[in-house]
Structure 1
Amino acid sequence: MNMEIKKIGRDACRVSSWSGGTTTEFSIAPENGNYQSRDFLWRLSSATVELEESTFTSLPDFDRIILTLEGEMDICHDGGPWIHLEEFSPHRFDGASETRSRGQVTDFNLMLRKGACTGDLEVLSGSGSEQTEDVYRTLFFYCHEGRMEVLVSGPEPVILDEGQGLLLRGLPSGSRIAYEIKPGTRAVKAEIHEKHENDKN
């Protein structure tokens, strides 16, 4: 996997419409992957839900993680009980489930092809650092509000302002990454691991 360090702003992203609002696609793998044909391993996006009640698109081949960036929503899977989602609280569910929601929100989404990759969303605060485990690990830092700094390599950090993200792919094993969240900032980190032939069952 080739190393990629890419700063991404909302103004450079692909925007599409769905039945309940719009979706901004930050990143998709592989790079030529296509959401409409479901031909992708994973996808990071942010969507607006503009209807008071909406039905999620069925994605039976994918696991999903969602969190609300603005507003709160109630969500229901396969006719089960309604679950209340507060702002910046990740919720994981099966894309095959019949999913309905109530509430107008802006959310952040991670879609993961079942059996091909795993991942998670984490809400960030303060500062921290971590070390990459292998080249098949992808990180995406997203600054929804405020400002944050991410130090990847070299003496100068990458500065992320509101609506900007940083994609890190294929970093050499053992690479050190540090981040600092400025006061009043709300930010999210997505972590994705693509499975490969060296993974053990």
Structure 2
Amino acid sequence: MHNKVVIKKTADYPVNRWSGGRTTELYIDPAEASYLKREFSWRLSTATVEADQSTFSALPGVDRILVLLEGNVTLVHQEQYQKELKPYEQDTFDGGWTTTSYGRAVDFNLMTRNEYRGTVAYLPLEKQETRTLLDEPPARMKLSAQVIYLHQGTVRVTLDGPEMVLNPKELCCIHNPDATVSFTVANVGPGKANCLVTRIYQPIGS
């Protein structure tokens, strides 16, 4: 089966207000799913936190990974722990926890539900650097999708021949339901590029 590749640009993203600032939905799967109805399998978004203190929406049954893109924040998970984040550091937590964020920032969020699991890796690329990304799924899991989100710089993504150029805040999602996939990311801009690579897994046989 051929890989399904989706490119999204800034004009494709819906933006909404929330109590602490603005949230931008980068990707939701399945495409017709509703975040408000909690029908999604997984979702990627960024959030601009404009308040010094904000409380996250309660999301029972949702696993979350938050990666800080800009600023400095401290996440306080009530009766659990607290963690200070600097740019490109991350925290993994239960969406059902009571979580308060302190500090103004921009962050990147992965949410997964049901049997889906995910990881987010920071990928910095120096000028003219090229990296080939390979994946080894966890035991009894298969790779469902890989997403490269470009925060800063310009990169070229190559997958089985076709080449795609990403500019800041654009993403490339590669759906690959049958096998692992490798792809090459090259920095083609004048300076450093900063990317986030998200991998989505689901149980074999599902």
TM-score w.r.t. length of structure 2: 0.87
Distance 1:60 1:157, change over 3 A: same
Does 2:132 match 1:129? yes
Aligned counterparts, 1:82-97, within 5 A: 82-97=82-97
Does 2:32 match 1:25? no
Q: CA deviation at 1:173?
A: 2.3
Aligned counterparts, 1:14-163, within 5 A: 14-113=14-113, 115-126=114-125, 127-131=130-134, 136-154=143-161, 156-163=162-169
3-state SS, counterpart of residue 24 of structure 2: strand
Does 2:196 match 1:188? yes
Q: Write the distance in 1 (CA, Å) between the matches of 2:177 and 2:81.
A: 42
Q: CA deviation at 1:2?
A: 7.5
Q: CA deviation at 1:153?
A: 2.4
Q: Write the distance in 2 (CA, Å) between the matches of 1:53 and 1:130.
A: 37
Distance 1:81 1:175, change over 3 A: closer
Q: Write the distance in 2 (CA, Å) between the matches of 1:132 and 1:74.
A: 31
Q: Which amino acid aligns with 2:37?
A: S
Q: CA deviation at 1:137?
A: 2.0
Q: Write the distance in 1 (CA, Å) between the matches of 2:177 and 2:115.
A: 20
Q: Which amino acid aligns with 1:141?
A: I
**How many residues end up aligned between the 2 structures?**
196
Q: CA deviation at 1:15?
A: 1.1
Q: CA deviation at 1:163?
A: 1.2
Q: CA deviation at 1:174?
A: 5.2
Q: Which amino acid aligns with 1:186?
A: N
Q: Which residue matches 2:174?
A: 168
- Deviation per CA, 1:22-68: give whole Å up to 9, x if none: 11111111111100111111100111111000000000110000011
Q: CA deviation at 1:19?
A: 0.9
Q: Write the distance in 1 (CA, Å) between the matches of 2:157 and 2:177.
A: 14
Q: Write the distance in 1 (CA, Å) between the matches of 2:150 and 2:87.
A: 15
Q: CA deviation at 1:81?
A: 4.5
User: Quick check: 2:3–2:176 contact (8 Å CA) kept in 1?
Assistant: yes
Q: Write the distance in 1 (CA, Å) between the matches of 2:80 and 2:182.
A: 43
Q: Which amino acid aligns with 2:174?
A: L
3-state SS, counterpart of residue 120 of structure 2: strand
RMSD: 2.1
Deviates more, 1:164-173 or 1:185-194: 164-173
TM-score w.r.t. length of structure 1: 0.89
What stretches of structure 1 of length at least 5 have no aligned partner? none
